[in-house]
Amino acid sequence: MAAKHRHQLPKKWSEEWGEIVSGASGGFLFGIPLLCTMEVWFIGSYAEPPILLGIIAITFFIVFLINRVEGFRSQQDDKDPISKAIAESIETLSIGFVCATLIMIVLQEINLQTPLDEALGKVVFEAMPFSFGVALSRSILDGDRYTNSNSNQPQSLGKGKKRIIWADTVADLSGTILGAMFVAFSIAPTDEVAMLAAPATPPWLLLIIFSSLLITYGIVFASGFTNQNKRRQQQGIFQRPESETLVYYLVSLFVSALMLWFFQRLAFDDPWSLWMRYSIILSLPASIGGAAGRLAV
């Protein structure tokens, strides 16, 4: 009995962690539209406390309604579904607030010099779409993280092996490019990229790159949005999780630079350091869009 209990405990923690990662990934997908929106930062900076409390209350109410029918946790029969939905809604808002706070710190919109009321305002406004994404994470692209399947058996590809490898690679590449372009197209023409790039130092740019890689890895391989056995069976050239994450981040980085040039935010006579800073800043939301694109193909 004790051995069985010890065996079930790691699985329970694994499921708990998986649901949190899935919720956070959904939050990042939903938070993209407001991630680099200067107006949201400014509105949050001077919003009065009653307004902020009202936004939190509205967000909680909407999240509660979502959790009554869906939620980011797997559905189980419960004798008190309302209490369960309330508890899950509190967890959802907590994940949304943590994700929004971390991303605002990475973008240097919140630092040690930021007044507390200004920081809270920015986080509250950004946490609203993040929380919706957390609550809807299971219904966005529901996967099959814990279902045993025989699909992980090697497939006999025969003469079509090379064709399948290239087809999977082209599909992933196309999805990444389209997803990254979709996001970058709406952000590249704005002043937010230049504003965020101005204070960015080389160590901070490395932090943004690491954050982009971590978030996209979580979305594609750790969130359960897709059947991971099926995902790992694909025969693309860069199909290993680490290599796929790195290579398609570089693709998103290239797309970011291309969009900045297309909207004349960068020119060929600009220094390479400016190209690098602007592209790395834009690659954070663009790579998230690219990850979503790979899930869609």
Q: Report the b/e string of 135-167 with b at 16+ CB within 10 A.
A: bbbbebbebebeeeeeeeeeeeeeeeeeeebee
Rg (CA), the chain: 21
Domain presence at residue 3: no
The whole domain housing 239 covers 161-296
Domain presence at residue 5: no
Q: Where are the alpha helices (DSSP H) in the chain?
A: 2-35, 38-46, 49-69, 81-106, 116-135, 137-140, 161-187, 192-197, 202-217, 228-233, 241-262, 272-296
273's tokens: 């350091």
User: Does residue 84 sit in the same domain as residue 204?
Assistant: no
Domain presence at residue 147: no
Cβ(44)–Cβ(125) under 8 Å? Answer: yes
Domain presence at residue 6: no
Q: Does 68 score more than 80 pLDDT? A: yes
Amino acid at 250: L
pLDDT tens readout for residues 107-143: 999 999 999 999 999 999 999 999 998 888 877 655 5
CA 296 to CA 288: how far, in whole Å? 13
Measured CA distances, 37 to 15, 104, 210 (Å): 34, 11, 22
User: Does residue 79 sit in the same domain as residue 44?
Assistant: yes
Counted residue by residue, the chain has a size of 297
**Worst-scoring range by mean pLDDT, 44-48, 133-137, 164-168, 215-219?**
164-168
Domain presence at residue 145: no
Domain presence at residue 1: no
User: Does residue 291 sit in the same domain as residue 165?
Assistant: yes
The number of distinct structural domains making up the chain is: 2
User: Does residue 92 sit in the same domain as residue 199?
Assistant: no
Domain presence at residue 90: yes
Mean per-residue pLDDT for 34-39? 83
User: Does residue 165 sit in the same domain as residue 292?
Assistant: yes
Domain presence at residue 96: yes
Domain boundary among 140, 171, 206: 140
User: Does residue 249 sit in the same domain as residue 290?
Assistant: yes
